[in-house]
Amino acid sequence: MTNKIYADNAATTRLSNAAKQAMLPYLDEIYGNPSSLHSFGQDAAKTIHESRETIAKLLNANTNEIYFTSGGSESDNQAIISAAGAGAMKGKKHIISSKFEHHAVLHTLKRLKKEGFEITLLDVCHDGIVRVEDVKNSIREDTALVTIMYANNEIGTIQPVGEIGAVCRERGVFFHTDAVQAAGQLPIDVKAQNIDMLSISAHKFHSPKGVGALYCKKGIPLSIMIEGGAQERGKRAGTENIPAIVGMAAAFDETCRKMGINKLYISALRDKLIDGLINIPHTILNGDKFERLPGNVNLCFEGIEGESLLLLLNAQELRYYPVPPAHPARLIQAMFYWR
Ligand SMILES: *Cc1c(COP(=O)(O)O)cnc(C)c1O
């Protein structure tokens, strides 16, 4: 690789050293199956319990409210399908969500629609934020679930999940949030924010791919995603991916501890990049300038295809430009040197 800059951390992130170091023993000498009763197994079981505890604490949840999954997509699927199932038992077959959710949410809702659920997809305002009023006005007697993401994965805008949670709690409707982009970037407190279910994915905060977690408030019946053994309190069978789980807990702990300082540093870089790029004629910032993830910049360059610009940038080596180049692609590259 040349001196390329990776600017796609909303898609995935690099494994942190903290995660890597935490994982190494579990790729080597600690290899027992947590379901085994001997000490090899019990050492592994203890580690899983500790990882669950770490993640629970960081979300202000109870340890037995955390379920390990294969990632954000599975967590979203399990949360929505479970809440829909619980609702259907009471004759409630209406679900509220937004138009710009991740496909893991939208496609699950599409499937439920085929199974007879009615889905209300709320509009997102020009600033990239769903209005609490719209959620409130859409709740009906037969609403089983509201699922609105914490921060959008494309334009990075932050949704008022605490306020939405309060409305849902008051109306007795389950509230799920896809917090995959928010985890490690924004404070999460499932109790204070009245969140019933919440999805996170490890590879978005410097841990391995293929592992995630679902927080599910005690008392909400979770559907079984994989039948088999008693892992994850019978809700998801299969021998646990211990190295990945350990790595996720270590990385989540680190990103949450550094959240404050990262926010200051990264949002300052974000603002500088936006302020520079917005000077290019026909450039539009997508989403509110400040109610967005610290590391998110999302712009439209009118008349220029996103894919073309991406491929052009990808093909370029980084070079220093003494005077601002005219072409947006060159200018974006140059911006990285002007911070
Ligand atoms: C990445 C992402 C997901 C999917 O997570 P995976 O672990 O890749 O399945 C879901 N929701 C959002 C908002 C995401 O950014």
What's the pLDDT tens digit per position in 137-162? 999 999 999 999 999 999 999 999 99
DSSP string, 67-105: EEESSHHHHHHHHHHHHHHHHHHTT--EEEEETT--HHH
305 contacts 323 by C-beta, under 8 angstroms: no
Euclidean distance between CA atoms 58 and 333, whole angstroms? 37
Q: Does domain 259-338 have CATH number 3.40.50.150?
A: no
pLDDT at 143: 98
pLDDT at 314: 84
Q: How does pLDDT run across 52-67, given as a tens digit for each residue?
A: 999 999 999 999 999 9
Q: Could you count the other beta carbons within 10 Å of the beta carbon of residue 3?
A: 7
pLDDT band at 333 (very low <50, low <70, confident <90, very high): low
Topology of the domain comprising 17-256: Aspartate Aminotransferase; domain 2 (3.40.640)
Where along the chain do its domains lie? Answer: 17-256, 259-338
Please tell me which residue, 16 or 327, carries the higher pLDDT value. 16
Is 201 a pocket residue for ligand 1 (Cβ < 6 Å)?
yes
Is 176 a pocket residue for ligand 1 (Cβ < 6 Å)?
no
pTM, 2 dp: 0.93
CA-CA-CA-CA torsion for 116, 224, 205, 50, nearest 10 degrees? 150
pLDDT at 337: 46
- Distance in Å, CA 10 to ligand 1 centroid: 9
Rounded to the nearest 5°, which phi and psi values hold at 186?
-130, 150
Residue 317 pLDDT > 70:
no
Please tell me which residue, 192 or 330, carries the higher pLDDT value. 192
174-178/197-201 β-pairing = parallel
**Among the atoms of ligand 1, which is closest to the Cα of residue 104?**
10
Is 87 a pocket residue for ligand 1 (Cβ < 6 Å)?
no
pLDDT at 146: 98
**Among the atoms of ligand 1, which is closest to the Cα of residue 12?**
1
Residue 330 pLDDT > 90:
no
Which residue matches tokens 């199932």?
Answer: 85
Residue 21 pLDDT > 60:
yes
- Distance in Å, CA 182 to ligand 1 centroid: 11
Q: How does pLDDT run across 236-277, given as a tens digit for each residue?
A: 999 999 999 999 999 999 999 999 999 999 999 999 999 999
pLDDT band at 294 (very low <50, low <70, confident <90, very high): very high
- Distance in Å, CA 153 to ligand 1 centroid: 8
Is 255 a pocket residue for ligand 1 (Cβ < 6 Å)?
no
Is 78 a pocket residue for ligand 1 (Cβ < 6 Å)?
no
Residue 324 pLDDT > 90:
no
- Distance in Å, CA 157 to ligand 1 centroid: 15
99 contacts 123 by C-beta, under 8 angstroms: yes
pLDDT at 309: 87
> Judging by beta carbons within 10 Å of its beta carbon (0-12, 13-18, 19+), is residue 181 exposed, middle or buried?
buried
pLDDT at 320: 55
Within 8 A by CB and 6+ apart from 205, the residues are: 13, 183, 184, 185, 251, 252, 255
